[in-house]
Amino acid sequence: MLAAVLVMLVLALMLGLVLGYSAIRFKVEGDPLVGKIDAILPQTQCGQCGYPGCKPYATAIANGEADINQCPPGGEAGMRALADLLGVEPRPMNEEHGVSKPKSVAVIDENVCIGCTLCIQACPVDAILGAAKHMHTVIASECTGCELCVAPCPVDCIVMVPLQESVANWKWRYPVHTIKQVA
């Protein structure tokens, strides 16, 4: 009887030491859930979700402050991926935060641009190039299509152009079966 109790006690002590040691030794910095959520978000940094970027939104979701259906660029697929990750039911997209649009890039009309640098300050990914009183231009390959540069422009010279399908980005279609009409 006593021996059994002792054995259990010693075991508990040893395991407790191992657990305590590993809790310190293998401590995970930050919240890994935020990183996982952030990896699913499209990184457009558009702020349509109501948070100042994808990471803050991810943090808010992880803390249970925000819903998973507030990211229009991620769309239905992104929402489903988040639902999968968090183990919650998928729900319809919240239209208050905007609707999903095809991916676009910003284009500056260089004849109209006055070089005010307001768009450069607005761009969350430093994709606009230019200097004060000099023409600005968008680095198309870096542009996330967040539209944040459109509003600040005092001369309305920025337009969002949807990406066209080309030979380079063309995809094979889902095979469609033709259904025979039966009278």
Partner 1 sequence: MISRLLKLNGGVHPPEHKLESTSRGIAAVPLAQTLVLPLRQHVGNLPKILVQPGEHVLKGQQLAEAVGSISAAVHAPTSGVIVSIEDQLIPHPSGLPDVSITLKADGEDRWMERKPVDWRNTERLQLVAGLRESGIVGMGGAAFPTQIKLRPGGGSGIKTLIINGAECEPYITCDDVLMRERADEIVKGIVIANYILAPERIIVGIEDNKPEAVQAMREACAKSDVRMDVIVVPTLYPSGDARRLAAILTGIEVPSDKRSSDAGLQVFNVATMMALYRYLELGETVVSRIVTVTGNVARPGNFEVPLGTPMGTLLEAAGGTLPNTNELIMGGPMMGFSLPSNDVPVIKATNCIIAGAPLLFPAPPPALACIRCARCAEACPVSLQPQELYWFAKSQNLEKAREYNLFDCIECGCCSYVCPSNIPLVQYYRFAKSEIIAQDKAKEAANLARERNEFRLSRIEREKQERAAKHAQRAAGAKAENAGDTSDADEAKKVAIAAAMERAKAQKEEAPPKNTDNISETAQAEIAAIDARRAEQKNAEQEN
Sites of contact with partner 1 (CB under 8 A): 38, 41-45, 53-55, 124-127, 142, 144, 165-167, 169-175, 177-180
Of 54 and 119, which CB lies nearer to partner 1 in the complex structure? 54
Q: Closest separation between CB of residue 157 and partner 1, Å? A: 23
Which residue, 116 or 125, is less far from partner 1 as judged by CB? Answer: 125
Q: Is 107 helix (H, G, I), strand (E, B) or coil?
A: strand
Which residue in the block uniquely carries the two structure tokens 């390959």?
Answer: 141
Nearest distance in Å: CB 172, partner 1: 4
Q: Are 48 and 70 in contact (CB under 8 A)?
A: yes
- For the CB of residue 9, give the shortest distance to partner 1 in the complex, in Å: 46
Q: How far is the CB of 144 from partner 1 (least distance, A)?
A: 5
| Helix residue spans in 43-176 (DSSP H) | 54-62, 75-86, 118-122
Nearer to partner 1, 110 or 142 (CB): 142
Closest CA to 65 of 54, 57, 53, 74: 57
Name which of 95 and 165 has its Cβ closer to partner 1.
Answer: 165
User: How far is Cα 38 from Cα 59, in angstroms, rounded to an integer?
Assistant: 8
Q: Which residues pair with 162 in a beta bridge?
A: 104
